[in-house]
Amino acid sequence: MLGSLNSSSHDQEEDETSDLHNQQGPHAPSPLRASTFSSSSLHMRQLLISCAELISQSDFSAAHSLVSILSAGSSPYGDSMERLVHQFVKALCLRLNLHSHSLSCMLINTNNIPTPSPPLPPAIGTSSAGIGSGNYMMTNYNSNIASSSESLHSCYLSLNQITPFIRFSHLTANQAILEAIQVGQQAIHIIDFDIMHGVQWPPLMQALADRSNSTFHPPPMLRITGTGHDLSILHRTGDRLLKFAQSLGLRFQFHPLVLVNNSPTYLALHLPSSITLLPDEALAVNCVLYLHRLLKDDSRELILFLQKIKALNPKIVTVAEREANHNHPLFLHRFVEAMDHYAALFESLEATLPPHSRERLEVEQIWFGREIMDIVAADGDNRRERHERFEFWEMILRSNGFTNVPLSPFALSQAKLLLRLHYPSEGYHVQILNNTFFLGWQNRALFSVSSWH
């Protein structure tokens, strides 16, 4: 990654520099959002939209009938559209039960899937117990999701390995942090919101050690404050990072910060007292696929959180987010947006992995399936996956005093080299707009990475 990709040639850098300037002119294209579908896929897509429309109109009986038709044309083992329909039918079934209090929605049989999916509420499909309120069912579903946190963490490692999206985000954010920290800086502190397994940081450690060796400056002291919801996972992450830092001769400290309550208000009120900042430290704040979780039906709590981050006076704030609007208040709009976004994701997995890839099944069933279930079935405060497009993040960051920091031509060359070496498919593309990198599949942007000060 960041360390291993530094061997790109000077000529390549000049080409990427030209590419960077050419695409940032006044006629720079916006990230394309359309997806291409075959005729059969278009038919299934329209059936899904029709089903969502029926649910929006509270015509639950007709929606149930259409779900039966969709179920017959879906499979977790089929092509990308069949697998996509499989996930969306499960989510539509849950939403139907939440809103119609009916037991007649029959899910696709998932007993033969070789990887564990987050369990659905027992009321769906087969339970003889009565269904409580919609809030009870969604709370039950969310608790089941939380109980499978270990499988989610394992699935995250598969996602990081078989798709470029996480590695692209980490690589680009790391390069922005490295360039924001002056050569010779003796103390660096990174606050990483939802650090997971910490896979982002070994390449940055390697780059810091390499830079120290090449400039004859002593290696800096690196402190990472990593947030999460499981203290044991945080401790294991810190232990792994410490061992890697020691192998490089880097001084290193890890501080786990358990987020007991994911409320933005709670975070904002307790953040200053939870984090120790030392004098002469260069502070970086890393928000990779995190900020959208702080959104509710309005942005007030997110704004409070950003104001507290701004008050910490970081050298750099890195932001990576999905390029999709899954936070629209209207269900049908949110549904269509999610369907097209995940259709592109499933297409990319089909094009780059063998047909019976166990890792692909894990990622689609557990990781993306959980997100689809949340976007489609949840409402109100129960809905967590509130992705927004870059325009939203640009607006809210600028309005709270942050300035966009341009990503460098070298960061662009590294991103393209990552795709070329590890994900050699013509379908992946990196585009630059408004000093921000967009990674997409075919003609649809899927992820954005930007840096701010």
The string of DSSP letters for 217-245 reads PPPPEEEEEEEES-HHHHHHHHHHHHHHH
Instruction: Say what the pLDDT of residue 354 is.
Output: 86
Share of the chain above pLDDT 90, in %: 61
For residues 178-203, average pLDDT: 95
Q: What is the pLDDT of residues 315-337, one digit of tens each?
A: 999 999 999 999 999 999 999 99
Q: Per-residue pLDDT for 2 more than 80?
A: no
CB 77 within 8 A of CB 114: no
Q: Per-residue pLDDT for 245 more than 90?
A: yes
**Least confident stretch, 33-47, 276-290, 341-355:** 33-47
Q: Per-residue pLDDT for 437 more than 60?
A: yes
Tokens (6 digits) for 427: 């379908």
Residue with more model confidence, 205 or 258? 205
Q: What is the pLDDT of residues 70-95, one digit of tens each?
A: 998 899 988 999 999 999 999 999 99
Q: Residue 261 — pLDDT band, cuts 50, 70, 90? A: low
Q: Residue 406 — pLDDT band, cuts 50, 70, 90? A: very high
Strands 444-452 and 404-405, bridge-based pairing? antiparallel
CB atoms within 10 A of CB 49: 14
pTM for the predicted model, two decimal places: 0.82
Tokens (6 digits) for 351: 């094009």
99: nearest Cα among 58, 70, 139 = 58
Instruction: Say what the pLDDT of residue 381 is.
Output: 83
Q: Of 56-60, 113-117, 273-277, give the range with the top mean pLDDT.
A: 56-60
Instruction: Say what the pLDDT of residue 269 is.
Output: 72
- Quote the CA–CA distance of 295 and 293 in Å, as a whole number: 6
